[in-house]
A and B are shown apart, each in its own frame.
Chain A
């Protein structure tokens, strides 16, 4: 032992502590340092470096004091505590103790506030799994919102995690808009079932984004995706679940869903056309014109010839190679298909085709009386027969009248005006000189003809599964309209005939859609 007394030893220790504290305090000063001291290269250097390399907790997002306290109190046992909480959460989910599950999940994120996968997983778990086990749709809606709000909180703690914004978009857009209960959810999006709490209005937790009120869940989702894209552009080092090229197309896809949902709701015309137009603009002018840095060089999906030459020159490669690289990415993102689809859908004729089809199908489901055969129309032989000398004058006169009419005429009115008996009409029909049809059949055929035109505009759309199934679905309705009245289904000479005969592989999907629409409507 040395000869120091206890007091002297303590003073030495104190001196040592003070000596060590000086550089720590000096280095640990705020980034700016004391007034007038910045710029000397030493003051606040640690803070400056932390800021430069984004290592400070505050740079990741809001710092929750309770979270920081918890982590300090646990003295390095955070992992064990988090593990125990995850086990509790699983058990509580199994035993359906939802309130406790929610509280446990909140505790988990206090321990792991900057682990974005935790926010992502638990938000998804609440919105998808927990909501699914509830019976009442209001309860399901409540848990979807809980999942959404939870992930929103995650974005506050992890301001640089683009994936969390994307996850919110997924819940607000896809979960709300594509579930079996989509119709109810989209109503709840506008007017929450908790009418007392939200005063007959929407829950801001799901319908508001940055203070802006959205009346369409897909448009709210688009905003979340756009925010995610902004964050990703600002902090490109953050890991994503998809490639950047795929990640960035989400706003335009959400816009596409918004337009599609309008059609599904039976809204056609200028509003829907504009929604498609906006999707086309986003796809071609925003997403398509964005420059992506990839392992194969810079890529612009909607590149002009001048762009290709410029990029090739910058990277000192053959323009043909650059063109091929861009083509690869265009194929990978299905760029051309969506471009054409959005373009075609934004045309008034396409809207008309969808409108006719929607109305015809709805009439089929809701007005079965119109399935009765009440109309008469000409066939391919009618006009020739009107000049046929073998027929009687009376018959020729009747057929000539029918030949002159573009649209079907009412059967009874026609028979009465032409003074024809039922037997004569039946005889003429059996000879193929006229055709008796139902109102729905005519409506469906008009819609099918329009839809055929739509499909014929681009081979890309003609090969799209959804487009094919929708076309086959129309034919299925049309065939059913015949079968319900024990009338033979024509085997040729009807719109969409080629689609019906060349795409039998898609029939199963179309039949499933048919059954679903017949059961719950659309």
Chain B
């Protein structure tokens, strides 16, 4: 399972960063002016202004040569201080790592994660103290030894001294990370070599074909024809493709292949970088109605909720922006569901004569349920909109239009007053309606050349002249609901209702419900991911309720089952009395794997960015504090950022009480709770104690909130788990957040370091 996979919104992050840095700058500026007024009276602000101008000048005059020279000096100084001795510790650790890790678990697919986590943790935590101490002690030590005087008397600016240190230690960190990363990579690959498969397969006539396969993130198979002696190579993203190709090329051993290469499938490589495409999840309850979550089976871990087997309960994943180009003629899913049984289930006997209980049967159904989605979108608030939902479900758009206009009348005449919650649902619902309708717009380009199949739809919708009006009416309703503007909402719904009536035939034709079930499979749990390969041309097993696909025997997955690049997959558990545990990340489309090196190197890069952040903090702290204090401060920040950032966030946000109320407990109240052994969920009794708490705690919590914004969230750098679990580290969820966080601290801390060193009395040791 992948942790922390949220996509990073750069724009939002920049806004957030700008606000915090801006507030801090204004605060520092105001404080500086006030202090300068106290110290230098009327000339104070002028001096502050001069310093700011000096700062701009220094920044503008930054010299790459001087920076490079200072960075190299720093690097050499670090080497003289025997920083590379850390390699000794590293070597010792790796020499004896086998004592602690080897044979802990004989199953390689379980063991590999432990090894990868070990090396990535080791790299991070071994280099961190070296860089932390060097960067924190560097400038204070130079000041103590007065060697800094020789630098500042040179034509080197203070900002270059700070930047040079950061770059120098950064170079050292880079060297250490690269070397340790390379050793670690070789160590892991040696421990988990790519599985090989060597067999001699006998054809029906007795001819023996040597077959050799090597499994990395791709499958390479070599088949030697004994008659000609020629060796043919086959390569593909997975064994399924390759086996098919081999079977096509050597039909006389095709039957032997099908059985023998089952062994190939059983020996999958463990070092992989899967590239998942995640979707959004929604649930249907046992009656088939939309539900926020599935059933709770009482698991302490709330990650998954459960789909009831043998009922109409479903989990539906919506995969957006599906790009079929790299996927080829198949769509591959990985599923990591969990099972919860209320009875043992069916006992079966394997071909080998071993008895076991059959795994839960899971079935995927591919949906293009436009009618259902439109009905849910237009009637999103429920209640008084239910009859509207029913009319759309029945395909009766004329009555649906009439109902919409009637609702609009009610809103116009204030007979139907909508709550804020209903407005929000309407906004979301009509926004969704617009999105569902938009793909029917004719698009430039010839029909069918769009990879998501919208081209085929474009061909059919070319003549839908009033579609833009429909989309615009839906967008209008969305905007009016967002603005809580009853008149505008009523007008938009009136318009939409009219369009529903006039466009009834077209809507009935276009908004189809197509359901294509895929044969069920027996699920597994935990380490064994279920790998489901779905061909692009799907047999329409059960047919659909309505729509064009109902008559077709074969349906094209990309052209006929996606809508606007969206693919919907409904997951059901077929065993009555059993429950299927699912969470959003449990089902994903598996795009072609990347080499293990890809994920591993990115994880090392993220570790490196974290170390750079520590260097930036350390050098900055050394500019205004003595070595030990700077080291202590930086170490505290690292600790807070790594282990307590989430906790601070919980303190600031508070906990949700069973009543639904949010309760924030501050330090004073917590102290009282500890002394009196009280439950933190129970409010303090009225009295003088509570009065004090009510005054002090909000102030202290504000302080914690401020700290929360200033302390870096180092959990953003935790990608080792993803690599350990066999996933690639994506740019948007792994590298980018780490890079942005490091840069976000680099710029203001460089400023802080520069002004601290500039305004500091260098003689003060």
A residues apposed to B, CB below 8 Å = 65-66, 69, 94-96, 98-100, 102-103, 106-107, 110, 134-139, 142, 180-181, 183-184, 187-188, 191, 193, 195-197, 520
B727 smallest CB distance to A (angstroms): 15
Which of B104, B106, B524 meets A106, CB within 8 Å? B104
B360 CB contacts on chain A under 8 angstroms: 135
Pairs across A and B, CB under 8 Å, 29 listed: A65-B99, A66-B99, A94-B300, A94-B301, A98-B527, A99-B105, A99-B110, A99-B111, A99-B113, A99-B114, A99-B527, A103-B101, A103-B105, A106-B104, A110-B100, A135-B360, A135-B524, A136-B356, A136-B357, A136-B359, A136-B525, A137-B357, A180-B344, A181-B357, A184-B347, A184-B354, A184-B356, A196-B266, A197-B106
Q: Does B82 contact A (CB under 8 A)?
A: no
Would A100 and B114 be within 8 Å (CB), given that A95-B301, A134-B525, A139-B526 are in contact?
A: yes
Is B117's beta carbon under 8 Å from chain A?
yes
Chain B: number of interface residues, binned into ranges: 20 to 34
A183 to B355, CA, bound (A): 8
B687 CB within 8 Å of chain A: no
A139 to chain B, nearest CB (A): 7
Residues of A with C-beta under 8 A to B339: 135
Are A102 and B104 in contact (CB-based, < 8 A)? Answer: yes
A191-B99 CB under 8 A given contacts A99-B110, A135-B339, A136-B525: no
From 346 to 373 in chain B, residues with beta carbon under 8 angstroms from any chain A beta carbon are 347, 352, 354-357, 359-360
Q: In the complex, what's the smallest C-beta–C-beta distance from B301 to chain A, in angstroms?
A: 5
CA–CA, A106 to B99, complex, Å? 11
Distance of A261 Cα from B146 Cα, bound (Å):
85
Contacts A103-B101, A193-B356 supplied; 10 other A-B pairs, CB < 8 Å: A95-B303, A96-B301, A98-B526, A99-B107, A102-B104, A110-B100, A134-B526, A137-B357, A184-B355, A184-B356
Partner of A100, one of B117, B347, B352, B524: B117
A103 to B300, CA, bound (A): 22
**Which of A100, A107, A110, A142: most chain B Cβ within 10 A?**
A100
Distance, CA A187 to CA B107, complexed state (A):
21
How far apart sit A187 and B357, CA to CA, in the bound complex (Å)? Answer: 13
Give the residues in chain A near B56, CB-CB below 8 Å. none
Distance (whole angstroms) from the CB of B261 to the closest CB of chain A: 15
C-alpha gap A270/B354 in the complex (Å):
28
A135 touches B96 (CB 8 A): no
A193 touches B114 (CB 8 A): no
Contacts of B523 in A (CB 8 A): 135
**B100: A residues at CB distance < 8 A:** 66, 106-107, 110
Proximity string of chain B (90-115) to chain A, C-beta cutoff 8 Å, 1 when within and 0 when not:
00000010011100111100110110
CA gap between A175 and B420 in the complex, in Å? 57
Q: Which residues of B contact A (CB under 8 A)?
A: 96, 99-101, 104-107, 110-111, 113-114, 117, 266, 300-301, 303, 338-339, 341, 344, 347, 352, 354-357, 359-360, 523-527
Q: Which residues of B contact A66 (CB under 8 A)?
A: 96, 99-100
B residues within 8 A CB of A188?
354
Given A98-B110, A187-B355, A69 contacting B303 (CB threshold 8 A) = no
Output the nearest chain B residue to A205 by Cβ-Cβ distance.
B106
Most chain B CB neighbours (cut-off 10 Å) among A103, A107, A181, A187: A103
**When the two chains form the complex, which single residue of B104, B117, B338, B344 contacts A520, counting CB atoms closer than 8 Å?**
B344
Which residue of chain B has the shortest Cβ distance to A196 in the bound complex?
B266
Residues of chain B with a CB closer than 8 A to A135's CB = 338-339, 341, 359-360, 523-525
CB < 8 Å: which of B96, B105, B344 contacts A102?
Answer: B105
Bound-state CA distance A106–B360 (Å) is: 32
Q: Which B residues are CB-close (under 8 A) to A180?
A: 344
**Residues of B with C-beta under 8 A to A191:** 354
Cα A252 to Cα B87 with chains together (Å): 58
A395 to B633, CA, bound (A): 112
Once bound together, how far apart are the Cα atoms of A188 and B338, in whole Å? 24
CB–CB B355/A102 < 8 A: no
Query: Chain B CB within 10 Å — which of A66, A134, A135, A142 has the most?
Result: A135
Question: What's the Cα separation between A197 and B352 when bound, in Å?
Answer: 15
How far apart are the CA atoms of A374 and B117 in the complex, in Å? 71
Q: How far is the CA of A20 from the CA of B105 in the complex (A)?
A: 47
- The answer to whether B300 touches A138 (Cβ under 8 A) is no
Contact among A65, A69, A137, A197 with B356 in the assembled complex (CB-CB below 8 Å): A137
Chain B residue with Cβ nearest A180: B344
Interfacial chain A residues near B110, Cβ < 8 Å: 98-99, 102
| A136 to B341 CA separation, bound complex (whole angstroms) | 11
Shortest distance in angstroms between B403's beta carbon and chain A's nearest beta carbon?
47
Q: Which residues of B contact A98 (CB under 8 A)?
A: 110, 526-527
How many angstroms from the CA of A134 to the CA of B338 in the assembled complex? 9
> What chain B residues lie within 8 Å of A196 (beta carbons)?
266
Known: A95-B303, A139-B526, A520-B344. A187 touches B354 (CB 8 A): yes
C-alpha gap A99/B111 in the complex (Å): 6
Contact B524 A136 (CB under 8 A): yes
Q: How far is the CA of A336 from the CA of B610 in the complex (A)?
A: 72
Once bound together, how far apart are the Cα atoms of A95 and B1, in whole Å? 11
Residues of A within 8 A of B357 (CB): 136-137, 181, 184
Task: Report Cα–Cα, A98/B300, bound state, in Å.
Answer: 16
Complex Cα–Cα for A69 and B98 (A): 14
Say yes or no: B113 contacts A100, CB within 8 Å. Answer: yes
Docked CA distance A136–B339 (Å): 9
Q: Shortest Cβ distance from A17 into chain B, in angstroms? A: 28
The closest CB in chain A to the CB of B112 belongs to A99
Q: Provide the residues of chain A in CB contact with B356, threshold 8 Å.
A: 136-138, 184, 193
Cβ contacts under 8 Å, A184 to chain B: 347, 354-357
The CA of A103 and the CA of B113, in the complex, are separated in Å by 10
Residues of B within 8 A of A96 (CB): 301, 338, 526
Contacts of B524 in A (CB 8 A): 135-136
B286 shortest CB reach to chain A, Å: 21
The interface centre, meaning the residue of B96, B300, B356 with most chain A CB atoms within 10 A of its CB, is: B356
